[in-house]
Amino acid sequence: MSRPPLPPFTKQNAIEKVRAAEDGWNSKNPEKVALAYTEQSIWRNRSTFLKGRAEIIDFLTNKWKKEQDYRLIKEIWAFNENRIAVRFAYEWHDNEKNWFRSYGNENWEFNKEGLMQWRIASINDLAISKSERKFFWDTDLNKGRRPDDHSGLSDLSL
């Protein structure tokens, strides 16, 4: 199975890879998202360590039960032949309607088929009021995809 764009990355196709990852995560479909990773992909997400698609699916299923009205924006930070570094922010609320913006950085490593084999994510949560939200788009349209005309992280001074 191949998942274009494939390494070695150029600036343009690294940006495409980042947007594809953002779109996948904004779909909030754990099975779909897991297909972007190798069967034995290794993750560190905060203090959680995962290995393989089955663990990724379980993790994401639980994540999106807790993190409601989730909206994510990713932005490329750096890239090389088969690695991409991104920064991201996402907004969500819990069951009590407490809003948060979570900020983080991810380091990704891909195999030759373009599947992510290694993901390291460092994430911090900031409690925000509903009025401080910055990510507004209809998540029922286009499977949660952020519209092309919606501001990115740099435009939002994040």
Please report the pLDDT score of residue 53 as a whole number: 97
Q: Name, in order, each residue with C-beta under 8 angstroms of 142's C-beta and a sequence gap of 6 or more.
A: none
Q: pLDDT tens digits for 115-130? A: 999 999 999 999 999 9
Give strand pairing partners of 75. 87
Cis peptide leading into residue 7 (ω within 30°): no
Q: How far apart are CA 94 and CA 143, in angstroms?
A: 21
Which is nearest to 99 in space by CA: 133, 122, 71?
A: 133
Q: pLDDT tens digits for 55-89? A: 999 999 999 999 999 999 999 999 999 999 999 99
Confidence category of residue 108, pLDDT binned at 50, 70, 90: very high
At residue 143, the 3 state secondary structure works out as helix
Confidence category of residue 1, pLDDT binned at 50, 70, 90: confident
Q: pLDDT tens digits for 3-53? A: 999 999 999 999 999 999 999 999 999 999 999 999 999 999 999 999 999
The dotted CATH code for 11-144 is 3.10.450.50
Compute CA 67 distance to the chain's CA centroid, rounded to the nearest angstrom. 13
